[in-house]
Amino acid sequence: ADVQAKLAELQQDYPGLTFEVAYDNATFVGYLMANMKQEIIVAILLTGLVVLLFLGNLRGALISVVTIPLSLALAVLAMLPFGMTLNSSTLIGLLMSIGRLVDDSIIDLHAIERHLRMGKSPKDAAVDGISEVRLAILATTFMVCVALLPLAFSGGIVQLMFEGIVWPIIFSLLASALVSFTLTALLAAHLLAAPRASEAAGRSRLERFVLDPMQRALDRLEVRYRGGLGWCLRNRFTVLAAATATILAGVALYPKIGSEMMPLADVSQAYVQLEAQPGTSFARTSEIAKQVEQLLLEQPEITKVSSEVGFEPGGTYFTGYGMGAANAASMMVTLADSSQRSRDIWQVVDGVRDEALRTIPGIRRLSIKEMGADVMASSAAPIQVIIYGPDLQTLHELGQQALRIAENIPGFVQASTSWSMTLPQLHVQVDRARAQEIGLTVDEVANQAYYALKGGFTNEYYRVDNQRLYTVLLRYRQDQRKDSLDLAQVKIVGKRGEVVPLASLARLEERPGPTLVERDNFRRVVSILGYYRQGGPPSMDLSMELLMAAQEQLPLPPGYGIEMRGDMTQMEESFQRLLKGLYLAVIFMFLILVAQFRSFLEPLNMVFSLSLMLIGILGGLYLAGQTFSTVSILAVVILAGMMMTTAVLMIDLVLVLREEGMTREEAILAAGPIRLRPILMTSFTTMIVLVPVALWPQTGIDAYAPLATVILGGLSIGTVLALFVVPVIHTYTDDLAALARAAIRRLRGRAAAEADGGVQ
C-alpha cells in the first residue's frame, strides 16, 4: 500500500512517465489470506459441530466454541510485542491450534457434567469439576508448549521457517488454559444445569433425533470399550506383543517413503531463468526473452509476466559484482489462483519450457520453477550434484556425461549444467619485448584493447542543455568491433604517442572457454541441476540416484570426485536440528510428567506411548503419496505433545481412583470409560480441523498438507492404540514398582537384622 501511494505521488510529479506494476507479491498474499480466513472459519464451524455431537448439549457446545475466538484473539495480542504479523506461517499456526483450543474446555465441561449428574449445584459442580482436572490440563498444556519451544530456538533455517508457526500455537494453548480456568468456569456455572428426565418431552427435534441417538451410541461405545479394556488386562502379554509388532511395522514403512526439504507448493508464482548461447548479443538475448515471454502470456492460466534482460556491456560493469550477463534474462510469472485454473503450475511451466526449447533457437538453458517449495532455499536448484577437479575442460566433459545420465532418470525434470565450455574467447598473447619498445606493460596493452571493444565511462561529467550531469561511454563503433580481425586492428597508443595495431604487439587465438568458473570449498566444480514434480520421486531419491549412477558410470580421474549439494545439504542440517528439537521435547515432557506424578516409571509409560503413533504417521504419508520433510518432522513434534494428552488424562484419573481405595484393575476399568469421551473429542476436534488441509489444500496452504497428514494419521491410529496399550503398560510399570518396593523392603529388613545382630 505504501509503495502504491508513493507511485501515485511520482505519477503526479512526472506526468510524462507511466508506471505499471510488473510484479506484486500482494497477489499471492491476497490468495493466502483469503484462503486462510476461509479455513479458520470452516475449522471453527466443524469444531463446534463435533463438540455438539459429543457433548449432546447445546449450551455446553456454545461454551466450548466461544472460547475459540477469544483464545485466538489473546494469542494475536501476545504476538504483537514480538513484532509478529499475520502471514502464512502465523496463520497456519493459528489454524493448527484451533482443534486444540477447545480441548481444555471439553475436559472441563465433561468433568462439570459428571458432577452435575451427582446432584451438585452448577456452581459447586463447576468448582469441583475444574479442580479435578486442572493439574491434567496444565500438564498437557505445558507439555505441548515445551515440545515446541526447542524449535523456536533451534537456529538456522529451521527457526526461520517454523518460529512463525510455533509461537502462535504456544500463545494459543496458554490462552486456552487461561480461558478454561476463568471464562469456561463462569459460563458453566451460569448456563449448565443437571439434566432432568421430565424435560425429555420438551426437547427439540435436533436433540431427539440427532443428539440423543449420538449420546446413546457413545454410551454403548463406553460399555464396549470397558469390555475391550477388560480383555486387554487379562491378556497383557498379547497386547504388548501386538503393540510391538505395530511399532515394527511402522519402522518397516520408512524406507518406502522418500524425503525432501519442503513439499512442493502451487503458490501461483514462478521464476524463469534464461541463458542464451554464449556469445549471444544483448539485442538477440532480448529477442529470445520476448519470444519466451510471448509463449508464457499465451497460456490462459498466466496473468502477468515481468522480464529483465541482462545488460549492454559497458565500462562500469567491468568488475562484475554479480551483474547478469548480456546473454541472460529472468522473468517473474504470476498465475491465476489454483482454484481458478484446470492445470497446476507444473503442467503450465513444463509445457512452456518444452515448447520454447523446441521452437526458439539460441537457448542454452531455460529453467522455470515454482516459488513455493524453495523460497527459503539458498541452493541453485532442489537437485544439485557437483563434480570437482582441477581442470575445466575435464570438468566440462564429465558434466556433460552426468547430464545425459540425469536426463535418463525418470522424474528428473529440467536437467542442466551450471556452465559449459562453449564461450567463444579471443586469447591475446602479448609480446612483452615489443610492448616495452613503446613503453607499455602487458596490463596496459590489455586495458586499452578491452576498453576499445567494451567501452569505458569518462571520469568527467558533462552537462547537456543545462539540465542533469552525464558521463560519456567511449568505445569503437559496432561495425569496428564485430570479429577477431577488428580486434587485431585495434589501435594501441604508446607512452611517446606511437599508434600501432594490436596485431603488431600480440598473437590472437580463438578458443572456447567456460561460461562460468564455479567454485565450492575453493575447488573448481561443475553442477548438474534439476527439479522434481509432485507424484514422482522426491528430491533426495533423485539426488541419490544421480550420485550413485554417476559414481558408477563416470571415469573419474585421480583428484576428481562427486558430492551432493542442493536441498540435500540444507535437508541434512534441518533434519538434525529438528530431531534435536524432538529429543529435547521428549526430555522436557518427561521431566514435567516426573514432577506431576512424582515417579519415573509412569512417565516412561507415557513416553513409550509416543511410539504407537509411528504406524499412523508413516502409513498416512505412504497412502497419501507424500514424503518425509521438515514439515513432517514439525508435525511429529506437535503430535508428540498431543499424544501425551491421552496418556496423562488416562493415568491421572487411574491414580486418583486408586488413592480413593480402588484396586488397580477397578481403577483402570472405571477411569477408561470416564476419559474415553473427552479423549475422543480432543482427537476428533483436532483432526476435523486438518481434514481440509490434508485433502483439499488451497493456494498458500498446500505446502502444509503433509503436516496435516502426519497429525491425522498419527493421532487417529495412536489414540486408538493408546486407549488400550497405555493401561496395560501401566500395569507392567506398577508391577515393576511393586517389585522394586519389595526389594527395598527386603534390603532394609536385612540391614536392620544385621544391625540388631551386631548390637547383641
Predicted confidence at residue 464, as pLDDT, reads 58
Predicted confidence at residue 27, as pLDDT, reads 66
Element (H, E) at 498: none
Q: Span 221-226, mean pLDDT?
A: 93
Give me the percent of the chain exceeding a pLDDT of 70.
91
Residue 482 has pLDDT above 70, yes or no: yes
Q: Span 656-674, mean pLDDT?
A: 90
* Cα gap 269→700, rounded to integer Å: 11
The DSSP string of 392-458 is HHHHHHHHHHHHHHHHTSTT-EEEEES--S-EEEEEEEE-HHHHHHTT--HHHHHHHHHHHHH-EE-
CATH 3.40.30.10 for domain 25-262+571-744, yes or no, is no
Predicted confidence at residue 318, as pLDDT, reads 37
CATH node for 424-513: 3.30.2090.10
Q: Span 427-439, mean pLDDT?
A: 89
Which of the pair, 337 or 391, is modelled with greater confidence?
391
On the question of a common fold for 25-262+571-744 and 424-513, the answer reads no
Residue 748's pLDDT band, with cuts at 50, 70 and 90, is confident
State the pairing for strand pair 363-370/506-513: unpaired
Residue 385 in contact with residue 399, Cβ under 8 Å?
A: no
Q: By mean pLDDT, which of 27-31, 635-639, 736-740 is the weakest? A: 27-31
* Chain centre distance of CA 697: 14
Q: What is the pTM of this model?
A: 0.79
Residue 182 DSSP code: T
Which of the pair, 284 or 267, is modelled with greater confidence?
284
Q: Span 674-691, mean pLDDT?
A: 85
CATH node for 268-371: 3.30.70.1430
* Cα gap 403→549, rounded to integer Å: 11
Q: By mean pLDDT, which of 235-249, 425-439, 519-533, 577-591 is the weakest? A: 577-591
Residue 483 has pLDDT above 70, yes or no: yes
Q: By mean pLDDT, which of 172-176, 476-480, 629-633, 700-704 is the weakest? A: 700-704
Give me the percent of the chain exceeding a pLDDT of 90.
23
Q: Span 635-646, mean pLDDT?
A: 83
State the pairing for strand pair 469-470/423-430: unpaired
- Of 275, 622, 542, 553, nearest to 398 by C-alpha is 553
Residue 338 in contact with residue 699, Cβ under 8 Å?
A: yes
Predicted confidence at residue 191, as pLDDT, reads 84
Q: By mean pLDDT, which of 106-110, 323-327, 431-435, 479-483 is the weakest? A: 323-327
Q: Span 709-716, mean pLDDT?
A: 92
Domain range summary for the chain, segments of one domain joined by +: 25-262+571-744, 268-371, 424-513
756 CB burial (10 A radius; 0-12, 13-18, 19+): exposed
Q: Span 133-138, mean pLDDT?
A: 80
User: In b/e form, how buried is each residue of 70-81, taking b as 16+ CB within 10 angstroms?
Assistant: ebbebbbebbee
* Cα gap 450→446, rounded to integer Å: 6
Q: Tell me the per-residue pLDDT of 352-390, one tens digit each, with 9 for 90 and over.
A: 999 999 999 999 989 988 876 554 455 678 899 999 999
- Of 707, 702, 670, 668, nearest to 687 by C-alpha is 707
* Cα gap 673→656, rounded to integer Å: 15
Predicted confidence at residue 468, as pLDDT, reads 64
Q: Tell me the per-residue pLDDT of 188-207, one tens digit each, with 9 for 90 and over.
A: 888 877 665 445 555 677 77
Predicted confidence at residue 393, as pLDDT, reads 92
Predicted confidence at residue 319, as pLDDT, reads 34
Residue 440 in contact with residue 492, Cβ under 8 Å?
A: yes
Angle at 88 between CA 82 and CA 89, to 5 degrees: 50
Residue 561 has pLDDT above 90, yes or no: yes
Q: Span 209-232, mean pLDDT?
A: 89
Residue 306 has pLDDT above 70, yes or no: yes
* Cα gap 475→455, rounded to integer Å: 4
Q: Span 558-585, mean pLDDT?
A: 84
Torsion of CA 155, 156, 158, 160, to 10 degrees: 90
CA distances to 161, 284, 294, 300, 301 from 343, rounded to whole Å, are 28, 32, 19, 10, 8
